[in-house]
Each structure stands twice: as structure tokens, then as C-alpha cells.
Structure 1
């Protein structure tokens, strides 16, 4: 399904750049999620150096996206968590809720226009969830039972990117 999905994205005029060599996900990211990131997503992310729409406002997180941000304008792979922690400020209970949520939800897709939203893999059951601003953690809903099902729903039009 991964190769078919990549072909589908290309046909939709997405900027899909194959990786010359697979970029491994950093060990600190893997260990945070208990090495429970589905192999199907790892296969997808490992094949690509970049995967974004024509505007650059929507993108799948792939291997190179997990490197530390180089400038303040670069988006970090966990940018929405960082935004939540910033909003929580000195409220330790709220900050813990944000961190606890992202400890079990691995972001795989980000969008910044027309609104901020994301897709993430629920590490506990492998399903894919989504939510929008401003309460990324509180409004999450399940959209697919697995990453392959998520890809199939996108191709079928059941999920719009």
C-alpha cells in the first residue's frame, strides 16, 4: 500500500522526493514511543526525503523531519506539543496533560493552512487520530484503525488532506 500511496500523492501533484538512503528516526524519538511506531509508517517515512503539498503548508513527517530544527522558522516534528506546552505556561497540571497526550500519540502529518491540524498514530492501538487548533489534545478523534487503512481512506477520498 505504501508504494501505491506514494504514486497517488505524486499524481495529486504533491512534492514527493525519494530518499537516496533511508534516514533513520532518531533513537530518542523511538525510545519515547517505546519502539511501538508501526512498521508500515517506518517503511513509508524511510522511503522519502520530503512529502508536502504544492503550497508547503501540508506535509507528512518523514525521516529528515525528525532532525533538530535549524532555525526558529523551521517546524519541529513535535511542534504542536511545543505549542501546547507554551500555552500551558507555568500550569504544571496542564503541561503534564499535554506531555502525557503526546507521549502516546506520534505525529505523522501537519497542516498550517487554512487551519492547524494534524494526524497522529495512537501508540496504544495503532489507530490514526486527528484534531484541529486550538485544543489539539482535547478534540482528537479516531479516523482509521491503522496506518495502512489511513492511506487507503485518503486514496478513496474518505479522508481529505
Structure 2
């Protein structure tokens, strides 16, 4: 089995496990009672999110299966030396550490969520872009806009108490 197929089966396995987790979350929210504060009920947001994630998992499983099919009548593309397709476990570990630090900071209420969320997004964007100078300003703008809008939506629209 070549590396592409083994990686494809691993991806399909990960997406299938995530699909099972999402299905169990959806199933567990079916019994939640209706809320008096929220017009859609307390289960609507987890159900909507789980359906969206489930749809994305099905799409990704389909794409992984399509990528594993042997190419018929196509010539293999020449290897481009400028493009690196290696796995970046270093960036993945840094992003995981940043996400854990963000979750702990929110849980321990170290700072306000309106400060933590844009800082979290900015740090992730800078790590993923490799701290290239031309990406710093757009990353700052995007993280501020998305972070503040997200905090506003959760506090004022979904009535979720954030620190």
C-alpha cells in the first residue's frame, strides 16, 4: 500500500470517528428541555453545529475516497521542488499548545474574552503564516474583527456568559 492510500485510510478513520462523536452529541441534545430565554431552545445551537460538522465530515470522507482512486488516463505531475508537502508537526504542536492555553485562560478567567479571543486568533495566524511581515497586518485586522464579532455574538445573541 502506498503512502497516499495509507494516509487516505487514516483520514477516513479520523473523519468517521468525528462523525460518530458528532452523532452522539446530536443524539444527546434531543432530550434537552425547551428554554424560556431562548426562542429556539437550548439544544438548537449544538444541533446546528453538529449537523454542519457532520456534513463537512461526509464531504471530507468523499474527497479522501476520491483522492485514493487510481488516476485513469492522467500523467503524473512533475515534482515541483519549490512546493513542500511535508507534514508540519512543529506547527501543529504549537497550535495545539496555543489552543490549550486559550482554553485554560478562558476557564480560569485570566483575561476578558474580548481580549483573549483576538489574541488567540492572531497568534494562530502568525504561527501558521510563519511570521512573514506581509501577513502581519491582515492577520491583525482579521483577528480583531472575527474575535470581537464572535465575543459579541456569543454574549449578546446566544446569551452565553463569557469571562
- Quickly name the TM-score band, shorter chain normalised: under 0.3
Which structure has the highest strand share of the two?
A: 1
Larger Rg: 2
